[in-house]
Structure 1
Amino acid sequence: MVFGFGDKGITIRDAHFPGRPGIDSYGNGGFRFADMSHRGSLLLLPSGVYGWEQTEDDPLTEASLSRAFAETGIEFLILGTGRQMRLVDPDLRAALKAKGIATDPMGTGAAIRTYNIMLAEQRPVAAALIAV
């Protein structure tokens, strides 16, 4: 979340970067991209990069990926599940498939490398990356 000053004091806004940058580095609980750093997990979608309130301990659900479900133009969603790969719940996989989105879970490091390659190839990819 980002803090800003509004008419009534401090307002809290969702972190958002309106572009499609690759991830330059990761670790220490965050990521570097587009000459910036972000602490916490990220959703990288066609509409931009968003802060994501997800940890390795939280289950991956339709609700936790609701922003990705609301997007158009995604054919492949890479799930960076943290330090280790964890399987995707079959109901979540079925919901993504019903929306026309293939998914592949992997550790966050592998997910970043895969996302950067697919992004460079201009493929219709998105990523959900849990910070490590």
Structure 2
Amino acid sequence: MDVTPLVPSGAQIIQAYADGTFRISGTVHDGAVIVFPDQTVNWTVSTDMGVDDFAPLLARASELDVVLLGLGAGVANPPFELRRALKDRGLAVDFMDTGAACRTYNVLMAEGRRVAAALLPV
């Protein structure tokens, strides 16, 4: 019996992450990425992470129910002001370590949810 979830053809699946890279649907990406169900883009993000860093996600906010923000190996909540600013602009962001964000993205995407993952490398 096959118990793997059915994934739509062309959907972006996070297969692996390590040593500053991600393998997504067979393609290796160096550094931070944003994974949407239909595409993966390199993500240029500043060390002090502000609203402007989320421009690619804000541009597609109406298409997303949730954004999973993978913060690397550990979790540290971004400043309240950033969280509030993103919410005010229509982004529901969940903050977690990158591994949890990768796993959660795959599950939600396979369920057909409108999700994206913004991932800092480990």
Indicate which of 37, 40, 46 corresponds to 2:28. 37
**Residue 47 of structure 1: CA displacement?**
5.5
Structure 2 unaligned residues grouped into runs of 5+: 1-9
Partner of 2:90: 100
Pair 1:109-2:99 in alignment: yes
Task: Report the Cα offset of residue 96 of structure 1.
Answer: 2.0
2:69 corresponds to which letter in structure 1? L
Runs of 4+ in 1 over 3 A off after TM superposition: none
Judging changes above 3 Å, is the alpha-carbon distance between structure 1 residues 98 and 20 closer, same or farther for their aligned structure 2 residues? Answer: farther
The whole-number CA distance in structure 1 between the counterparts of 2:105 and 2:41 is: 15
**How far does the alpha carbon of each residue in 1:99-120 deviate from its partner, in whole angstroms, 9 at most, with x for none?**
3322111110111011111111
For the residues of structure 2 that align with 1:115 and 1:47, how far apart are their CA atoms?
A: 13
- Cα distance in 1 for partners of 2:78, 2:113 equals 22
CA contact (8 A) 2:12 2:36 kept: no
Give TM-score scaled by structure 2 length.
0.83
Question: Counting strand residues as a fraction of each chain, which structure ranks higher?
Answer: 1
Q: Looking at CA atoms only, which structure, 1 or 2, has the larger radius of gyration?
A: 1
Q: Distance in 2 between matches of 1:40 and 1:77?
A: 18
- The one-character-per-residue Cα deviations of 1:11-57 (angstroms, maximum 9, x if unpaired) are xxxxxxxx6411000001110011111111101135621101237xx
What is the Cα deviation at residue 88 of structure 1?
2.1
Q: Which has the higher contact order (CA 8 A, sep 6+)?
A: 2
- State whether residues 45 and 68 of structure 1, in contact with CA within 8 Å, keep that contact through their aligned partners in structure 2: no
Q: How many residue pairs align between the two structures?
A: 112
Does the 8 Å contact 1:46/1:74 carry over to 2?
Answer: no
Q: Secondary structure at the match of 2:109?
A: helix
Structure showing the higher helix proportion among its residues? 2
Structure 1 unpaired stretches of 5+: 1-18
Give SS of 1:112's match.
Answer: helix
CA distance in 1, matches of 2:82, 2:100: 21
Secondary structure class of the residue paired with 1:100:
coil
Superposed CA RMSD = 1.7
